[in-house]
Amino acid sequence: MTGHEKAQGPQHKRDLTRRKVLAAGTGAVVAAGVGGTFAAGAFAGEETPAAGAKASGTSGETCYRLTSETTEGPYYIDADKLRRDVTEGQDGIPLMLRLKVIDADTCKPLADAAVDIWHCNALGVYSGYEAMGSGGGGGGGGGTPPSGAPTGSPTGAPTGSPTGAPTGSPPAGGGGHEEPTDDERYLRGTWRTDKKGEVAFRTVFPGWYQGRCVHIHTKVHVNGTWTDAGYEGGTTCHTGQLFFDEASVLATAEVEPYSTNTTARTTLDEDTIYPGNGTEGGLLKLKYKKGAIAKGVVATLTMGVDPETTQDGTGGG
């Protein structure tokens, strides 16, 4: 993806007034291995302890400030799984994502909102689109993991140059919504905000694909109803992307499997979607042990939204 993500056309088959999220069982299992002790107990209760203070709170710095809206991208999948642990065994650096949603006008937390997140895996592949070429639009792509020259571009060699012609190939345009090509749903999930407007997800640090910096997509839905089947109705009041500073991304690039990804990486400053306005634009606040990022990262952000508007990200951002 080298250009702007285009508005999605009528082919985007979603009915926001009849939105449903399918429940994916009860509880979340703490991942084993390197992340086994990372943020243990984060999902012990309905609320997310200590998330508020770490996610900027509701100080004058965050109040009355709308978080930047961006395009949805072509690879959003509605009716996704209702869960807080979205890893599904994907390899990568453990990432605890703590978000707080507030009304940007009143600074009051938005409770019972439905928050979606979705992002690519450590090698730049999006679930649901593994049959498509890697990289593409603001949503990324699927296909064979971009670990070699041929996977990032149909011509092979140009994968080392993010400004080369192949980066403008069809999947990189970010045009209308793409229908899923498979049933995989890793690194996608939805959960409700608690009474403090807080929600937390367990995932892995995203990787990168040609034409985009490292990012996570997110949506906030309000005025819907939580049922045994999930979340129904309501409107989408925020569609954005969450970004990572260059220092953290460079640190992950030294860790497997990220270190095996030879696809040309777009930096934060080079990205055409990142608004360049820091936390207001979705830049996450990260906490990890320097020199030992492989042990895990905690990412936090307060998102100011307008619950009275509809921002579904299909109008060009």
Q: What is the pLDDT of residues 123-134, one digit of tens each?
A: 999 999 888 755
> What is the reported pLDDT for 300?
98
Q: Is the pLDDT of residue 281 over 70?
A: yes
Instruction: Write the burial class of residue 165 (CB in 10 Å: 0-12 exposed, 13-18 middle, 19+ buried).
Output: exposed
> What is the reported pLDDT for 60?
52
Q: Is the pLDDT of residue 238 over 90?
A: yes
Distance (Å) of CA 285 to CA 245, 278, 298, 300: 9, 10, 8, 5
* pLDDT, mean over the chain: 76
From the list 262, 267, 216, 265, the residue with the least C-alpha distance to 243 is 216
Distance (Å) of CA 65 to CA 61, 105, 303, 306, 315: 8, 8, 9, 10, 21
> What is the reported pLDDT for 98?
98
> What is the reported pLDDT for 171?
34
What percentage of the chain exceeds 70 in pLDDT? 65
pLDDT tens per residue, range 152-206: 333 333 333 333 333 333 333 345 788 888 999 999 999 999 999 999 999 999 9
Higher local confidence (pLDDT), 6 or 82: 82
Confidence of residue 230 (pLDDT cuts 50, 70, 90): confident
The whole-number average pLDDT for the span 90-94 is 98
The b-or-e profile of 6-44 (16+ CB within 10 A means b, else e) is bbbeeebebeeeebbbeebeeebebbeeebeebbeebbe
pLDDT tens per residue, range 25-67: 333 333 333 344 444 445 444 343 333 333 344 445 557 789 9
Q: Is the pLDDT of residue 114 over 70?
A: yes
Point out the least confidently predicted range of 43-52, 87-96, 169-178, 270-279: 43-52
Higher local confidence (pLDDT), 65 or 100: 100
The whole-number average pLDDT for the span 215-244 is 93
The answer for residues whose C-beta is within 8 angstroms of residue 63's C-beta and 6 or more apart is 102, 104, 107, 304
Q: Is the pLDDT of residue 122 over 70?
A: yes
Q: Is the pLDDT of residue 135 over 80?
A: no
The b-or-e profile of 69-78 (16+ CB within 10 A means b, else e) is bbbbbbbbbb
Predicted structure pTM score: 0.75
The whole-number average pLDDT for the span 236-250 is 98
Q: Is the pLDDT of residue 14 over 60?
A: no
Q: Is the pLDDT of residue 80 over 80?
A: no
> What is the reported pLDDT for 177?
80
Q: Is the pLDDT of residue 103 over 70?
A: yes
> What is the reported pLDDT for 9?
39
Question: Measured in Å, how far apart are the chain's first and last C-alpha atoms?
Answer: 16
> What is the reported pLDDT for 134?
54
